[in-house]
Amino acid sequence: MKRLVTSTLIGFMMLFVFLLVGSAAMASGEGQIIKPSAAGAATGSTFFPLDYAFDSPDIVLDTTGAPTGGPGTNNAPAYSTSRVGYVDLGPNWSNIRITSTWTKYRASSVGNMTPYTEIWWDNDIDTTNDSGLTETHFNFNSVQGLANTGTTTPWLRDNDVSSSPITPMGRYLMLRSPINMTNRASEYAIVGYLVDEAIRVIPPAVAGQASGSQFFPMNNAFDGQPNLDPLTGEPTGGVSVVDAPAYADRVGYIDFGVDWNKVRITSTWTKYRASSSGNQTPYASLWWDDDIDTINDSGFTETQINFNSALNLSTGTTTPWIKDNDVISNPIAPKARYLLARSPLTMTNRASEYTILGWIDENGNGIQDALNRPVSGITLTGAGGATSILTGSTLQMSAAVQPFNATNKNVTWSVTNGTGSATINSTGLVTAVSDGTVTVKATAQDGSGVFGKIELAISQYSQFILPVQGASSIYYIDLQSAFPTVNWQTLERLYIPAGNYQYVKLGNLPQRTASNPLMITNYGGQVKISGTYSYTLSIEGGKNWILTGKYDSALKTGHVNFQGHLNGNYATSSTGLYGIEVGRNTSNGISVSKNATNFELSHIEVAHAGFAGLLIKTDGVATATMDGVKIHDMYIHDSESEGMYIGNTSSDLSKQHIFTNLEIYNNRVLRSGTEGIQLSNMGDGIKVHNNVVVMNSLDWKNPFQLWQDGVFQYSQRTGSAEIYNNVFIGGASSLFSVRLSAAPGETPNPMDEVLMHDNYFSHSRDILAYIHDTASNYATKFRFENNVIRQIHFQYDELPGGHVNSNKMFYVSDNTHNPMVFTNNTRDGGQVFIDSIAGNNGTVGNISASGNTTVANLAPVIFKDVTPFSSTFDWSLIERWDDYSDLYAVPIYFKDGDYVYDFPTGNLYKNIEVGTHTGKNPATNPSTWSLQTPMKEDFRLDATSPYQGIGLLP
């Protein structure tokens, strides 16, 4: 979701435009040059450019309080006939207090000067004193008996009214010139100060333990006072030396000083320590008093403010300021100098600091005389943080105006239709008319021109867009608690805003029904997650949810510009074009855990995972069940280890949960360091079909542990599974393995079976498969039918350890219990098909084989476009480059014609150096390695392929 907040410096510039120089905030009483916001000839007067008298760019006060600097470009006006000029003191004129006026004279000036004959205050700039507010306390150009200034250009004071500063009686100061006006003045200056009764932090003069009380150092609660955020008006910062006191049934006092009666309290706040939680305990009683003993003898009980009163606190690693009371609509005026506070009988000890916000009634008129502050920014939000709205429904918008103390916070609401349409009323209530996006705008009414806007999504589906704009990561360990106003049982779309994130965690997803799943998808573009955190995309818990990057205009998922392989878009390579891309990382790509079940993953690219592309399991919780999981249309490539790691692989099955009704289909799993797909603790209803799993175990010479170098690894506990229509290419010790092993207390049914049929297997560096058994499961049948097996060529002796060619495809002789049936399979090569029967067909013990044939030149599968490789390419030539095997403690050698992928870059290289060699990094040895054109990855079957109906779905 894209939110745009327009802010401008104009507001701040207007605030102090009448100051020649000024700090960001002027305290009341601070002497300064009062620079008019404008000056000139009065309406109806003949030419009298009074602005010339205030055009110096560099006037400041020196250490004595006198002006220095100037003159400006032009001299002050001096016409010999009565004319009138005006001085505009700007919108904050009523906050100005004038203490003196000054005139700067030109060199060689001498004698008596002629002051203005009439000065008055007015609310217009015509030449008539219709207000009757004549000003007689100050003037300009009034020095008498001026000694010749010679070469100097002095500033001379006209009037000193600092003992009784002048409060303007109107915005405009009008000046009528005398009939005969001297022309020696070059510049005028007004010196004074601003009265700004702005909201501020009000630190106590003193605080401590009340007389007669046990130890209660209230001063500790005010020993690290905060600053005030100029935009939000909330306390920020503040470092407490010692935490606020937390002793039961004791009394402390807060001294507001000798000017206590000028204090006006608008809010009280408490800062809490990290790791604070639960309900805090406010003071049992507070009262105002003229002494600091423990007795409320004044009777001035205070019930509107308190401290340490937060409820349902959860600070985590933060140390937040939490508001205790907001009384800005009716500020508290102290009834005495001291505020006494009695602690409760049981007091929580999580508070580190207190603070009091308010203003000081400096002029004693009981009215907050604050400067006019224009709006500088507006931030818009929907009720409950919503940035989406159902078609036909309403959403109340709110506008947070900055700064918090802007004089006029009123805004005008409007809406601009985009792909959708909506209306909005004068209070900011949006009514959604049609699907799409609209932009809501709120414009300040103070004339500053500042506005804020936000894009709203309108849909027929209820939706929530995570409020993470601009964030580099997303972390919600408890999504439902983080957004309690969202109805997690009816929400239809959970949107992740487009952006680049280092990691994403979505924890405690809701438990939903199969007929009403929660769809989670990207919004507004591509969601790309890549980084070095301990996880990359982690989803925890929930039932019946779908995570998808698929673009579907009707279902409102994905984004039109990131469609991946949708509509057969494989030929131009769909890399980087999926709505959700989990990119290069040092952990796992997507992890799903914490009892999640009945979920679906689809249309996501998972690339260059530091370990597994997918890691799906709830470790150590035997009672958990991952049921009804679907994984399809994924593009998983270049994982350091497994492409898919599903289910715990430990030997103690008693501590691990089972998977049921898992379906994995239409996925591309390419170039894994170890197995392409590894499934453990499988139960009934498993279907793995129409996947392309190619170029796996590329790290077969340096895997993270022994025997992690197949293509498909499968372990069945109970129930039945069907594995069909897949393409498995490129393994090391085997192309697949099956283990039949039940957990304690499970009784496999003799009708259970693992059925593998109509698959294509090719290019193993040792054997085709291992079929293992354990004493816990002798009942499950293994059935292998109508499969194609080709190009099993022994190369495993390239590893140390004296590996010998066993000259067989199936290693099943150790399994003398589980029924195994091999029917109508076609293979090439001269190896023994099944070791126990020493051939293609026959029956020995628990093994039956029939209809299996050998074809000498068995045709390969033909893909649409995997350039630069042809259909006859030897896929066993591809490995991942490394110079040394940490597992086997030997150098890794390559020879002419080998291909390698360089994991850091993803580049493909071909070995062009004759002989064998090691230690030559492809990126820096072009005479050994030739950089190849990136591989195209359209692994759909070509129409000319001799095998149809397998691999990726049309």
Token pair of 145 as six digits: 């008996």
- What are residue 907's phi and psi, to 5 degrees? -75, 150
Give the closest residue to 489 by CA, choosing from 530, 433, 545, 442: 545
Regions in the chain scoring below 50 on pLDDT: 1-28
Rounded distance between C-alpha atoms, residue 354 and residue 252, angstroms: 13
Give the closest residue to 917 by CA, choosing from 881, 874, 877: 881
Kindly state the greatest CA–CA separation across the chain. Answer: 134
Token pair of 795 as six digits: 């190369």
Residue 27: what pLDDT?
Answer: 38
Rounded distance between C-alpha atoms, residue 599 and residue 514, angstroms: 9
The CA R_g of the chain, rounded to the nearest whole Å, is: 41
Taking residue 919's Cβ as centre, other Cβ atoms within 10 Å add up to 11
Q: How far is CA 497 from CA 35, 452, 470, 501, in A?
A: 48, 20, 10, 10
- Answer whether 123's CB lies under 8 Å from 185's CB: no
Task: Quote the strand ranges of 435-509, DSSP E.
Answer: 436-444, 451-459, 463-465, 474-476, 493-501, 504-506
CATH number of 27-194: 2.60.120
- Answer whether 79's CB lies under 8 Å from 51's CB: no
Rounded distance between C-alpha atoms, residue 198 and residue 406, angstroms: 11
- Answer whether 103's CB lies under 8 Å from 141's CB: yes
Cα angle: 140, vertex 146, 149; to 5 degrees: 105
Give the closest residue to 763 by CA, choosing from 630, 855, 860, 621: 860
Give this prediction's pTM.
0.68
Superfamily of domain 382-459: Cadherins (2.60.40.60)
Token pair of 193 as six digits: 């100060």
DSSP string, 593-631: ETT-EEEEEESEEEES-SS-SEEE--TT-TT-EEES-EE
- Provide the CA 38 distance to its chain's centre, in angstroms: 46
- Answer whether 620's CB lies under 8 Å from 649's CB: no
Burial of 492 (0-12, 13-18, 19+ CB in 10 A): middle
**Which CATH fold would you assign to the domain 200-360?**
Jelly Rolls (2.60.120)
* Ranges of each domain in the chain: 27-194, 200-360, 382-459, 867-935
For residue 259, the 8-state DSSP code is: T
Residue 794: what pLDDT?
Answer: 94
pLDDT digits (tens, 9 = 90+) for 666-685: 999 999 999 999 999 999 99
Q: ω before 403 within 30° of 0 (cis)? A: yes
- Answer whether 396's CB lies under 8 Å from 485's CB: no
- How would you classify the pairing of strands 518-531 and 451-459? unpaired
Residue 571: what pLDDT?
Answer: 65
Q: What is the three-class DSSP state of 904?
A: coil
Rounded distance between C-alpha atoms, residue 389 and residue 618, angstroms: 35
Helices and strands: H and E segment counts in the chain:
2, 81
b/e map 3-14, b = 16+ CB within 10 Å: beeebbebbbeb
The answer to whether domain 200-360 and domain 382-459 are alike in fold is: no
Rounded distance between C-alpha atoms, residue 269 and residue 236, angstroms: 11
Residues in Cβ contact with 354 at an 8 Å cutoff, skipping those fewer than 6 apart? 221, 222, 244, 268, 269, 270, 271, 307, 308
Residue 196: what pLDDT?
Answer: 86
Q: What is the three-class DSSP state of 11?
A: helix
Residue 29: what pLDDT?
Answer: 56
Rounded distance between C-alpha atoms, residue 138 and residue 145, angstroms: 18
